[in-house]
Structure 1
Amino acid sequence: MPSSPLIRLILVEDHAMVAEAIGLALGSAPGIDVVARAGTIAEALAETGRCRPDVVVLDRRLPDGDGISAIGRLTAAAPKARVLVLTGEATASMAARVVQSGGAGLLVKSSRLGELESAVREVATGGVVFAPGLLPGVFDRLTGRAGHLGAQLTARERETLLLLAEGASTYEISERLGVARNTARNHVQHVLEKLGARSKLEAVAVARREGLLD
């Protein structure tokens, strides 16, 4: 019987101990080769373009941005790559964002390493994997049965919203995103308009209520 193709995998995780544990577990699994590790979105994009992996296991929160917002850029760098997102806590709205961004799955970090290995194999063969209980909510959101407040936010505006939730000022947002202060101010204004908020605090409150910060 012919052996299964080797799964080339990139692990994107900024916590060294977590990355070491996951990397060792997946790297020792038969048929999986961890070809690179990255700790930021920028590093992940560079390694994905260089290594052309089959699967990218991507942390949700990274030092330079939201992992889900980077899925499109990762798949542009390696069109055949399938992206599996890892997160501390998963919600249906977060899972819907993964689907809309072209991701192949969402798994919580509390999952057993064996579950992660199985998920990697599933997405590598074209399947999708989501934490139990999320799919009904994902279906509701994608079919319009659930509210889509904030659905028109661009990737940059979502990053801006996350920074607002951290208490960042407009100046800090411009520094963190690497854009001019006027551009950052425009991002903030667009976020407020799309969420129907009159202040940054109200925008964050609305975002939390609607699950946009998950």
Structure 2
Amino acid sequence: MIVQSATCKDAPMPSSPPHSRPIRILLVEDHDMVAEAIRLALERSPDLQIVGHAASVASALADAERCEPDVVLMDRRLPDGDGVAAITDLLALRPKARVLVLAGEGSASVAARVAETGGAGLILKARGLSELEDAVRRVAAGEVVFSQELLGDVLGRLAGRTPSLGANLTPREREALQLLGQGRSTSEISDQLGVALNTGRNHVQRVLEKLGARSQLEAVTIARREGLLS
């Protein structure tokens, strides 16, 4: 079984050279079957060790301090929040840790968020366990690793050549987008924002225009893909 959040495998003695021991990995994944498959795959290698398993952002923050991981393998979507948004807090607790985000799907804007918050990379689950194993070793060695299909775009965004989709949304439009993501109607959005129905419609319409969406459903789909919705 995977080590649960209440227990961590013993940390190495402070004098141990970093390359004489396995890479210590904190696995943050809320689906038990996925977590078990990752554990079995990674621990086939003597240089990789799962020292803790958390199923939420809150547990990950507690275990990052207690388990002393070298690498935090963080699922992007967790029951209590966004794994990417948690990177800053993780690094505040464990500055030497490297955070590698594992996502079912990704985009250049999500990958750019990972890099901007201090993450060591993002790899897609579809890439396979052998590539994940290699990515863990590379980030532990100080490299930054992104799935190949995202790398070119994320470099462009970080260099400022391509603005992130949705970056020009106003705070009010972001509120409207969050409510759209919750399945609220235009009338409900207007009530929630405390504005007239026509004003609420205008907010929603501008969200669609800025995301290049033709419908509210498409806007929500794009926003989830781009990491604009938690």
Q: Secondary structure at the match of 2:25?
A: strand
Q: Distance in 2 between matches of 1:37 and 1:67?
A: 14
- Counterparts of 1:37 and 1:53 in 2: how far apart (Å)? 11
Residue 213 (1) aligns with residue 227 (2): yes
Q: TM-score, normalised by structure 1?
A: 0.75
Choose the corresponding residue for 1:143, options 149, 154, 159.
159
Is the CA contact 2:100–2:120 (under 8 Å) kept in the aligned structure 1? yes
| C-alpha contact (below 8 Å) 2:177/2:207 kept by paired residues | no
Give the counterpart of 1:131 among 147, 162, 167. Answer: 147
Q: Which residue in 1 is equivalent to 2:203?
A: 198
- After TM superposition, give the deviation of residue 167 of structure 1 in Å: 2.6
CA contact (8 A) 1:26 1:32 kept: yes
Matched, 1:63 2:68: no
The question of whether the paired residues in 2 share the 8 Å contact of 1:87 and 1:108 is answered with yes
Report whether the alignment pairs 1:74 with 2:79.
no
Distance across 1 between alignment mates of 2:45 and 2:219? 43
- 2:33 alignment partner AA: M
Deviation readout 1:58-94 (Å, 9 max, x if unpaired): 0010001111011111111100000000111121111
Partner of 1:19: 35
Unaligned runs of 5+ in 2: 1-16, 186-191, 196-201, 209-215
Which range moved further: 69-78 or 3-12? 3-12
Task: State the structure with more CA Rg.
Answer: 2
Kept in 2: contact 1:58–1:67 (CA 8 A):
yes
Structure 1: distance between partners of 2:175 and 2:40: 31
Two-structure CA RMSD over aligned residues (Å): 3.2
Shift of 1:166: 3.6
Q: Distance in 1 between matches of 2:51 and 2:160?
A: 39
Closer, same or farther: CA 113–14 of 1 in aligned 2, 3 Å:
same
Amino acid at match of 2:30: D
Match of 2:58 among 35, 39, 42: 42
8 Å Cα contact 1:65-1:159 kept in structure 2: no
Q: Which runs of 5+ in 1 are unaligned?
A: 170-184, 190-196
Q: TM-score, normalised by structure 2?
A: 0.70
Given the alignment, which residue of 7, 31, 34 partners 2:47? Answer: 31
- Contact 2:109 2:227 (8 Å CA) reproduced: no
Q: 2:111 aligns with which of 71, 95, 99?
A: 95
Q: Residues 162 and 213 of structure 1 are in contact (CA less than 8 Å); yes or no, is this contact kept in structure 2?
A: no
SS across alignment from 1:144: coil
Distance in 2 separating the partners of 1:41 and 1:160: 25
Mapping 1:147-158, distance limit 5 Å: 147-148=163-164, 150-151=166-167
Percent sequence identity over aligned pairs: 52
Aligned length: 187
